[in-house]
Each structure stands twice: as structure tokens, then as C-alpha cells.
Amino acid sequence: MVKKVKILLVDDEKTIRLTLSDSLREAGFIVKAIENGQNAKNILKQEKFDCVISDIRLPGIDGVSLLKFTKEHFSDTEVILITGFGDVEQAVEAVKAGANDYIMKPFMNDEVILRLKKITEVKRLKDENVKLKQQLVENARFGEFVGKSKQMRELFKLIETISKTDSSVLICGDSGTGKELVANSIHYSSYRKNKPFVKLSCAVFPETLLEDELFGHEKGAYTDAKARKTGRFEQANGGTIFLDDIDDMSLKLQVKLLRILQERCFERLGGTQTIQIDIRVIAATKNDLGKLVEEGLFRKDLFYRLNVIPIFIPPLAEHPEDIQLLAEHFIKLYGKGRKYYIQPGTLKAIMEYKWPGNVRELENSIERAIAFAGESRELEMDHLVLSSRQSFIPGENDPAKLRDFLNKVSAEHISKILAQVKGRKTEAARILGISRKCLWKKIKDMGINKKHQG
């Protein structure tokens, strides 16, 4: 249902008040009409209006004064001024002072309605943009974060708390646990949320290129420096910079980062001008920085500067109660409006598997499983195994081991159900949520004990 626009009409001419009010109501607006500026101010203090239509010449408080009062106290309320020929210059100045439009007497009521519709449509679009921006910020805060376990609830609470500070943060966790999501949430929950959020992985660039990416350079700093380049620190000014894989930063660059943390300034490569910046630094690592400090591979003073607020993200194996919730989230995300479901045996296997690649591995597995499932809408064991081949590291995380594990768990679950229903395959298929034909195939492929095939 579309919200009706509420208008406050202010004019000391009774004829205009009556005729214009009737026309506006017929056009679908809600109208309150009054005769002077003082009453208008009193009503504005009591009720919210979308737009004020006021004559410039009013007894006591005139239209321009009413405009200034409205914009000072109710900035979202639009203002249209009605003016006579002799007041045009005053009306133009009023528009410069914040009025949305002015209409000259004599006028047709349809003209006022047309102007009003244009103004309210612009206002509606502005309000929608504000709402969408707020939704985007909210989504950036926790939209990708899913979890109900004690560990995840404590993590969400910690993010909310530290977002109110401006201290440096060091996020620690295995690959795939969601370190970047934590950084996103911290930034978009902070007062810097409308400022830049710049991300950079220190593992992507060799030392010389990383230095250039971080600090930028002046024209002529080196052979290929044809023009000045702004670095990531400068781009993040006023906001937050997220430095992932901070342990891959060389000792030489660590010295420069330490200076930024201490003095909030730096120079571009090849430059002499000192650039002051206001940023929050969030760093992340999958390694034990304390151990790297002991080995002389990471500066102790930088470690303490970064580790003001440490955050540890637990591996998925330590909060398995979130696995099903995450799987359902990724099914919804990659299903794109189509409903998919996981067979009970497959779900049991997913819940028991350790997911060494953590949330990222689970996400990739679900995404590819949906692609393999096609039109069936049923995510089977084979879909999950096939989808996981590319995301498993040979050796300890070999996909063959995953296949064996999933098949073993699935066979145990099917055998258990068959035993409960005394081998009745139609009933077993119903409980398992699969077709009888699919059950027959699984019994055959997995070599399930013959005594359950009655």
C-alpha cells in the first residue's frame, strides 16, 4: 500500500485555501489548510508533513520565515512557495535558501498538483535510496555471517563492542573461517561505515609491488611511473584498511607500517611530501604471529601495535552445530529462489565431516552441488563429493577419503533406517526423503547388508 502524501497549506486567502484544498484531496493528497504562519509553526511542531505549500505574504510570520523554520527543524519536509508578480526575486532567493519550488499567482490548481507530484516523487526516490543504503550497510555488517553456536554469538557480541572503538584489530583464524567477513562487520558497524573500506592481501604482491600498492608513488619515482599513483593507505583516508595475510609482509615494509600506526603519516615512493591520514587498521593472519616474532620473522613492536584487540575465529569443526544452518544459508544463496534439499543421509555426513577448509570449503561444496543437481533439486552424496574435488588438498584432505567417509556414513544411516522398518523399502525411502528407485541404487552401490533388502 502506497503511503499518502500529507500537505500543510498556508494561505490567508480563504478562496485559495478552499479551492486548492479540494483539488489536492481529489488528487489523493491529505491536506490541512490554515490561514497564517504562526499557526503553521504550531502545527508543524505537533504533526509530521511531507510538504508545506505557503504564500510568501502572510500576516505576522511570512512564508520565507516559515520556510527557514521548517528547514531548520524539519529538514525532510518539502516547501513550495506561492508568490505574486512583485515577489519573484524574493521567491528566487527563497529557493536558494532551501525551498523546493515556487508558483506564481494566478495559477491553475492542476499546475500545483503537477509540481507537487514531481517534488514528492523525487523525495520518494531519495527516501528509497537512503533505505537501500541502510540495508546494504546492514547486509555488510552481518548479512554473510551465519551461526547460532555459543562461539559465533560471542563473536557477534565482540564485533559490536569493538566497532565502537577505533583501536587496531588483529583477526586470527584458519583459512576459510571468515576473517574478511569479520573485518567487513567491524567497519560497517563503526562510525566510519560511510567512509572508504579498502582491502589488500599482502600475499598477492611481491615486496616491491606491495610497497607501491600501499604507499603509491610520484611521477618519475621509477622508469614506468608515468603519473602519480595514490596508494591504498591514502585511498582509505577517513575509513578503514584491511590488511589480510599480514604475516607475508616483509620486515622492511613492517617498519613503514609501524610508522603509520604510530604517527598516521607516510610519503609516496619517490616523494618528499608527508601525507597525514586518519584510518583504522585491521589486519588478519592464518599463522601464529607470536611464534613468528620469536623466530625473528615478524617485528615484536608491530605485533603489539596490531594486537591491541585480538579476535580469534574458531574452525568450523569446533562449532559443528552451525554446519546445517550454514548449508541451508548457502543453498538459499546459490539456489537463487529455487528450493533444494539435502537427503538425510547426506546431511548426517555433512554434519560429521570435519571440513578442514572450514566455511569456505562448505560454501564451495554446496555451490557446486547445486550445479551438479540440475533440475532434480535433490542434493545427493555424489553431488557433494564431486563438488568437493577441486577444493580438497591432496593427501590429508584427499577427495577419495571424503568419498569413503560420506559413503560410510550414508550406508550406516540407510542400514539403520532399513532395520527400523524391517526392510520395507517404500517406508525407508519415505523416511529418507528419496525415491524407492534411488534407495535401490544406493543399496546396490554401497553394498548394504543383504539382510535389510527383504
> Domain with 187 in it: what CATH number?
3.40.50.300
Within 13 Å and on the Cβ side, how many CA atoms surround 402? 30
55-67 per-residue burial string, b: 16 or more CB within 10 A, e: under 16: bbbbeebbbbbbb
Same domain, 334 and 295: no
DSSP state of 224: T
Provide the domain count of the chain.
3
Distance CA 136, CA 284 (A): 24
In a shared domain, residues 157 and 299: yes
Residue 135 counted as domain residue: no
Is 136 inside any structural domain?
no
Task: Kindly provide the residue ranges of all beta strands, DSSP E only, lying in 338-407, ordered along the sequence.
Answer: 341-342, 378-379
| Domain end residue (candidates: 248, 282, 314) | 314
CB 359 within 8 A of CB 316: yes
Residue where one domain finishes, among candidates 130, 164, 192: 130
What CATH number has the domain bearing residue 64?
3.40.50.2300
Residues 289, 323 within the same domain: no
If asked whether residues 82 and 194 sit together in one domain, one would say: no
> Which set of grid coordinates corresponds to residue 89?
526575486
Pick from 101, 103, 104, 40: nearest CA to 74? 40
Q: Which cell goes with 424?
A: 520395507
In this structure, the answer to whether residues 241 and 262 fall within a common structural domain is yes
CA–chain centroid gap for 414, Å, is 41
33 with 124, same domain: the answer is yes
Look at residue 342 in the predicted model and tell me its pLDDT.
Answer: 83
- Verify that 295 and 326 share a domain, yes or no: no
Per-residue burial over 153-176, b = 16 or more CB atoms within 10 Å of its CB, e = otherwise: eebbeebeebbeeeebbbbbbbeb
pLDDT at 386: 43
Residue 178 lies in a domain: yes
List the grid coordinates of 78: 518539502
Distance between CA 366 and CA 190 in Å, rounded?
32
Distance CA 217, CA 287 (A): 31
Query: Nearest to residue 117, comparing CAs of 216, 28, 221?
Result: 28
Q: Burial level of 415, CB count in 10 A (0-12/13-18/19+)?
A: middle
* pLDDT at residue 129, as a whole number: 66
* Domain-embedded: residue 1: no
Length of the chain: 454
* Domain residue limits at 19: 6-130
Residue 374 Ramachandran class (φ > 0 left, ψ -120 to 50 alpha, else beta)? left
Q: Against a cut of 0.85, is the pTM above it?
A: no
Q: Is residue 293 located within the same domain as residue 327?
A: no
Instruction: Say yes or no: 18 and 87 in one domain.
Output: yes
Distances 370 to 175, 201, 421 between C-alpha atoms, Å = 23, 30, 31
| Residue 137, in any domain of the structure | no
* Whole-number Å distance between alpha carbons of 141 and 135: 10
Whether 345 is in a domain gets the answer yes
The 51-55 sheet, strands edge to edge = 30-34, 6-10, 51-55, 78-83, 101-104
Residue 139, in any domain of the structure: no
In tens digits, the chain (454 residues) has pLDDT values of 456 889 999 998 898 889 999 999 999 899 999 999 899 999 999 999 989 999 988 888 888 889 889 988 888 888 988 887 666 777 777 777 788 888 888 888 988 898 888 887 877 777 776 665 555 444 444 456 778 889 988 998 899 899 989 999 999 999 999 999 999 999 988 999 989 999 999 998 888 899 999 999 999 888 888 898 999 999 999 999 999 999 999 999 999 999 999 999 999 999 999 999 999 999 999 999 999 999 999 999 999 999 999 999 999 999 999 998 898 888 888 888 888 888 777 888 888 888 888 998 888 888 888 887 767 777 876 667 544 444 443 334 455 555 666 677 677 778 878 888 888 888 887 777 677 777 787 787 777 765 444 4
Whether residues 372 and 295 share a domain: the answer is: no
Phi and psi at residue 170, in whole multiples of 5°? -115, 115
Are 384 and 364 in contact, with CB atoms under 8 Å apart? no
According to the model, what pLDDT value does residue 85 have?
64
Cα–Cα distance for residue pair 85/144, rounded to 1 Å? 59
303 in the same domain as 182? yes
CA gap 46, 271 in Å, rounded: 59
Where does residue 357 rank: exposed (0-12), middle (13-18), buried (19+ CB within 10 A)?
buried
Exposed e or buried b per residue across 244-266, where buried means at least 16 C-beta atoms within 10 angstroms of its C-beta = bbbbbbeeebbebbbebbeeeeb
What's the confidence (pLDDT) of residue 171? 96
Are residue 115 and residue 182 in the same domain, yes or no?
A: no
Which is nearest to 198 in space by CA: 180, 224, 211?
180
Residue 219 has a CB neighbour count (10 Å cut-off) of: 12
Q: Which of 289, 314, 339 is the last residue of a domain?
A: 314
